[in-house]
Amino acid sequence: MAVGLSAIPPLLPVNGIRVGACSAGIYKNQRLDLAVITCENGSKSAAVFTRNAFCAAPVIIARDHIQKTSPSYCLINAGNANAGMGMKGYEDAMRVCHHLSQLAGCPVEAVLPFSTGVIGQPLPVDNICRVLPELIDSVSENAWNDVANAIITTDTLPKGISRQISIANQQTTITGVAKGSGMIRPDMATMLAFIATDADIDRQVLNKMLLESVEQSFHRISVDGDTSTNDACVLIATGKSTAPYIDSFDSDFAVQFRNALTEICVYLAQAIVRDGEGATKFVTINIRGGKTEEECRNVAYAIAHSPLIKTALFASDPNWGRILAAIGRSGIERLDVSKIMIYIDDVCIVENGSRSGKYTESLGKSVMGRDEIILYVDLNRGNATISFWTCDLSYEYVRINAEYRT
């Protein structure tokens, strides 16, 4: 069961966005597995995609299409990644895009395809095309929760959040949904996420805002250190709010919106970790005292990606020697280990590079037994800091991934 994560409340509609979901029969057991997000003319979009060199066909197409025009449709299927299929995968994804564009009367470049699920299986194009007319006819402003349910795979819960902020006394709405549970590590945005707002924002500013928010959220999570072939994060601004136009990255209005957007992204990123496949612990890693943010990030990566640390977390075992080993192999040049301090919550386990005189095994075990843990590492070599989020590695993770295709 997801750690500290509950069912999402009804998500708020976004003026200028209509959404819908249906079953295309991609799964053996009928469930919502196909979703669409439609954008009114004049909407602006930004997106980031996986850096995995073996990226899926829909990633290649969506990345190309968004460079050519503002998208009118995001079409997302679950249950099939359409990855590792070579030219056939590309042709199949384009067939779906062409079919939707003909139904909607828009250029094919205005359709962005997204897929998630099993790699190496042919996309069921006929199934998807057969239900597209029904799906397009059914869209509404109020079906965001259906979209959140349709895009999940091994997730135990859908993930979504809405926020409303006041900009110059005018209400602006932001709604976002995401999917992700396994095959999660920071190398873009390591999942699928779709965020929409009615704010009116310059396209270049919108892109810069998304990159900043992704860096502070989706780039700072890891479930298993495995980067997907299909990751994407899309931000759509319809401009339908009466709030002032945002044409500068650093204006007061822009800062208000950026803070809210980052809050949305951080929530969704943390929700993915909380729902990590078989996760029983949600762990915040705070690294401070680095010379640069990059070396803080490298330390966080080393800790979050260590199977030995993650299994110790699952066992509630305060085996802090594994943390020392991870920090030591993180690649920091001329690291003075005698200055390092490590805390688990409020328990000091390492002081000046060695076991704290105040530490006892019983104290360590008591904090390691909590569902939510904060690990503090102070490198004491600079002023850089970073926060990172991860989870433990349990028997259930192995079972889920061993049985994924069966």
Quote the Cα angle for 94-96-101, to 5°.
Answer: 90
List the strands of the sheet with 17-22, edge to edge: 17-22, 34-39, 73-80, 111-118
> CATH assignment of 282-402, given 3.10.20.340, 2.60.34.10, 3.30.930.10, 3.40.50.2300?
3.10.20.340
- Per-residue model confidence (pLDDT) at position 187: 58
- Per-residue model confidence (pLDDT) at position 22: 98
Q: Are the C-beta atoms of 268 and 193 separated by less than 8 Å?
A: yes
Q: What is the pLDDT of residues 198-254, one digit of tens each?
A: 999 999 999 999 999 999 999 999 887 766 777 899 999 999 999 999 999 999 999
**Active-site option among 172, 190, 280, 390:** 190
> CATH assignment of 17-274, given 3.40.50.300, 1.20.1070.10, 3.60.70.12, 3.30.360.10?
3.60.70.12
Mean pLDDT over residues 96-120, rounded? 96
- Burial class of residue 354 in the structure, from the number of CB atoms within 10 Å of its CB (0-12 exposed, 13-18 middle, 19+ buried): exposed
Q: Are the C-beta atoms of 194 and 159 separated by less than 8 Å?
A: no
From the list 79, 253, 264, 258, the residue with the least C-alpha distance to 189 is 264
pTM for this entry: 0.94
In this predicted structure, the answer to whether residue 11 has a pLDDT above a threshold of 70 is yes
Mean pLDDT over residues 341-361, rounded? 94
Query: 292 catalytic, yes or no?
Result: no
In this predicted structure, the answer to whether residue 190 has a pLDDT above a threshold of 60 is no
Average pLDDT, the chain: 93
When pLDDT is cut at 50, 70 and 90, the band that residue 189 belongs to is very low
Residues of the chain with CATH 3.10.20.340: 282-402
Residues of the chain with CATH 3.60.70.12: 17-274
Mean pLDDT over residues 332-341, rounded? 94
In this predicted model, which residue has the larger pLDDT, 293 or 154?
Answer: 293
- Per-residue model confidence (pLDDT) at position 388: 95
- Burial class of residue 285 in the structure, from the number of CB atoms within 10 Å of its CB (0-12 exposed, 13-18 middle, 19+ buried): buried
